Amino acid sequence: MDKLQAYLKNELDSLRARGVFHLPRVLETEQKATVVIDGREVITLSSNNYLGLTVHPRLREAAIKAIEQYGVGSGSVRTIAGTMTLHNVLEEKLAKFKHTEASLTIQSGYATNLGVISAVMQEGDMIISDELNHASIIDGIRLCKSPRKVFPHKDMAGLRRVLEESKGANKVMVVTDGVFSMDGDIAPLPEIVALAGEYGAFVMVDDAHSSGVLGRNGRGSVSHFGLDGRVALQIGTLSKGIGALGGYVACSQDMRDFLLQRARPVLFSTSHPPSVVATCIAALDILEEDTSLVERLWENTAFFKRGLEQLGFNTGKSETPITPVIVGEGALAMQFSQRLFSEGVFAQGIVFPTVPADKCRVRTIVTAIHTREELAKALDIFERVGKELSII
């Protein structure tokens, strides 16, 4: 056996032996509240389609029209020939939506974190990161030469200590998720902004799970806390609540101009096809015009979370539509998820190392397009399977 084959076999065997080898389930329908996955009809509580925009008629129509008018690809990276009028229209709308001078879209939220952090932070600087920040923030930090320090999750005394230790650095950036994806808790942004200000640091917030969810019309965590103008870099995604694909940074005009020179995903990877851009423009128009989807999302969240709590499940510290159902050990979480699926609910099991080994869970995300009937039925199934496995 050659070395490559031996390596792959070894890695795969080890994953299988630890019971964490996993192939994705396959979705056979569009991404709605009730879907067909692996041949079975289930209520899904596993998508990030918070507002149901992946299947919204206005977005479909916008995508089709853009394809008819502009074709299916942009044909180039942004900085050579791949900036179309549509890209600029979307970025102006995003800046207006986020109350910032400017914005820049990048292929995905993941690429945005990589591109922005590695362009902005240099040797001699300091990056200060919450220990539970998303992998794309961690990878962005790994790509740059700046030193980094981690503070305990949401621990403001810990953050102060690290800021104190970083006084000799040139630029200091404090970076946090707006909403944390495994627990659904919200970053204490007012305290972070105040502390950063005290030490002359600037703040970057990753609003992937807050875009279209938190704040007025779904503007994100900065709007939620009334911190307009006080956060240098607001990262968002167009792939979750907004329903299509992409990432963006809402920032100053100088920052946008700088990133157009230096952010590597902008320089070296092709820009969004016109259909994706047009879809996102339509999504922002809907958010600006109509708050009913965001309201519906929060009503459904309150209903489902209350239901789980009344059944006696441990839902942790969630404050958002992400509600974990914490069961303890990994094998039980996977069995729970499997039994839920057989009974008609898709809620992904999440185990170590993504979460602590004694806090394994299934994670649920409700959306604005779940009906009350679907959520009530999902609660019935949670009750039945929870009792069967002695979780409640």
Ligand X SMILES: *Cc1c(COP(=O)(O)O)cnc(C)c1O
Q: Which two tokens stand for residue 15?
A: 């994953």
The H or E element spanning position 105 is: strand 102-106
The residue from 109, 184, 215, 218 that contacts ligand X (CB under 6 A) is 109
**Residue of 209, 219, 256, 359 that binds ligand X (CB under 6 A):** 209
Tell me, yes or no, if 209 is annotated catalytic: yes
Give the distance from CA 314 to its chain's centroid: 23
Question: 281 to each of 88, 178, 261, 274, 359, how far by Cα in Å?
Answer: 10, 23, 25, 10, 39
Is residue 134 within the footprint of ligand X (CB under 6 A)? Answer: yes
User: Minimal distance in Å, beta carbon 108 to ligand X?
Assistant: 3
Contact stretch for ligand X (CB under 6 A) within 108-116, 124-132, 212-220, 272-280: 108-116
Choice from 74, 108, 301, 315 touching ligand X (CB under 6 A): 108
Residues 6+ apart with CB under 8 A from 111: 247, 265, 269
Instruction: List the catalytic residue out of 181, 211, 271, 337.
Output: 181
Whole-angstrom CA distances from 269 to 77, 116, 172 are 5, 14, 28
Q: Decide: is 271 part of the binding site for ligand X (CB under 6 A).
A: no
Instruction: Please report, as residue ranges, which positions from 157 to 196 form the binding site for ligand X (by CB under 6 A).
Output: 177, 181
Nearer to ligand X, 110 or 341 (CB): 110
**Is residue 110 involved in binding ligand X (CB under 6 A)?**
yes
Distance in angstroms (rounded) separating the CA atoms of residues 63 and 57: 10
167 a catalytic residue: no
Binder to ligand X among 49, 100, 136, 367 (CB under 6 A)? 136
Q: Which residue, judged by CB position, is nearest to ligand X in the bound state?
A: 109
Q: How many residues bind ligand X (CB under 6 A)?
A: 14
Point out the residues that are catalytic: 181, 209, 240
Contact positions toward ligand X, by CB under 6 A?
108-110, 113, 134, 136, 177, 181, 206, 208-209, 237, 239, 247
